[in-house]
Amino acid sequence: MFSNLNATELSHSPKLANKKISVLLLDDEFEIFRKLTQVFEGQERFSVVGQASSCRIGTVMIQTYLPQLVIFNSNMTSILPEEVPGIIRKIINQSPNTKVISIVSENDASQIFRVIKAGAAGCLSSIHLNDSLLNSLEQALKGEVVIPPEIATKFVSVLQEFYGPKAEDQPAEVIIKSLTTREKQLLLLMMKGYSYEQIAEVCDITVSTVKTHFNAIFCKMGVKNRVQAIGIALRQDIQLLVEPSLASDLKELSPHRRNEKKEASTVSL
């Protein structure tokens, strides 16, 4: 459908050239192309001027059409991951007024970081290509960096990894004191080996809330996982920094205490 358009047809179509935002698709995955086709079909704001299945063809088409937007699948089978930043920079050099939106794997934080650093105007999740894409494109045209919510957390985590404070750069006492009382409580529970579910039970919060707290804890501590966080906590007597009432809650949750309650219940019957 879109690949049949050429430069001659575009130049003889004032309506497309003057009123619509020109978009070029640089992609070689059928499923992604199908999803993009569905999004653009029938709407009047954007005009897909072509689709290139290789970077070589894409280069020629970009020079021909000078599209306002290029949607570039950074997971194309014909390129290597390390080639992606160079391709984005080349597109921008070819056509400085073109905004590049890169399709990425939402779980690949380093990929997200690389495409933004290379100059892409934003990222799209490879599994969330729907009507919200059009709003993202409008934002990119206004000069905003587009990072959908489903991949924003990954992007923030990689920024933290590259530019955030490192655990070894700060005294353990300073790191621990940067945590809120609740965060200190949760960290203590984690040090005692409790699961997210058990921590949620002790603190009377949801498991989702527990995970959110730990994301914040790891960011503040400049670590990636539990092991690193516990290592820092052990360098400081964290138990002196939490509410004393937490001790009784821990006893209630302990397996030994649960067995006592179960035995008492059995005797009473």
Residue 4 has pLDDT above 60, yes or no: no
User: What's the sign of the alpha-carbon dihedral 135, 136, 137, 141?
Assistant: positive
Q: Structure tokens of 180?
A: 């809120």
Q: Which residue has the higher pLDDT, 48 or 158?
A: 48
Most confident segment among 46-50, 106-110, 238-242: 46-50
- Average pLDDT score over residue span 188-196: 83
Query: Across the chain, how many H-helices and E-strands are there?
Result: 15, 5
- Average pLDDT score over residue span 56-68: 93
Q: Which residue type, as a one-letter code, is found at position 210?
A: V
Is the Cβ–Cβ distance between 166 and 222 less than 8 Å?
Answer: yes
Q: What's the predicted TM-score (pTM) here?
A: 0.54
Residue 8 has pLDDT above 50, yes or no: no
Residue 195 has pLDDT above 90, yes or no: no
How many degrees, rounded to 5, is the angle at CA 24 between CA 20 and CA 30? 125
Calpha distance 131→116 (Å, rounded): 22
- Domain range annotation of the chain: 2-160, 167-258
Most confident segment among 10-24, 72-86, 188-202: 72-86
- Average pLDDT score over residue span 183-204: 84
Provide the pLDDT for residue 245.
Answer: 55
pLDDT digits (tens, 9 = 90+) for 121-175: 988 888 778 878 898 899 899 988 888 776 776 666 666 555 555 555 555 566 6
Domain 2-160 in this protein, CATH class: alpha beta
Could you tell me the CA-to-CA distances from 254 to 24, 234, 241 in Å, in that order?
A: 60, 21, 21
Calpha distance 222→37 (Å, rounded): 42
Calpha distance 158→147 (Å, rounded): 13
- Average pLDDT score over residue span 20-38: 92
Calpha distance 237→183 (Å, rounded): 15
Calpha distance 250→107 (Å, rounded): 35
| Pairing of β 21-26 and β 99-104 | unpaired
Provide the pLDDT for residue 119.
Answer: 93
- Average pLDDT score over residue span 250-261: 50
Could you tell me the CA-to-CA distances from 211 to 29, 56, 156, 183 in Å, in that order?
A: 35, 45, 16, 11
Residue 268 has pLDDT above 50, yes or no: no
Calpha distance 213→1 (Å, rounded): 48
Residue 69 has pLDDT above 90, yes or no: yes
Residue 178 has pLDDT above 80, yes or no: no
Q: Structure tokens of 239?
A: 């138990």
Q: Which residue has the higher pLDDT, 112 or 86?
A: 86
Range with lowest mean pLDDT among 75-89, 106-120, 167-181: 167-181
Provide the pLDDT for residue 191.
Answer: 82
Domain 167-258 has CATH 3.30.160.340: no
Average pLDDT value over all residues in the chain: 77
Band (pLDDT 50/70/90 cuts) for residue 181 is: confident
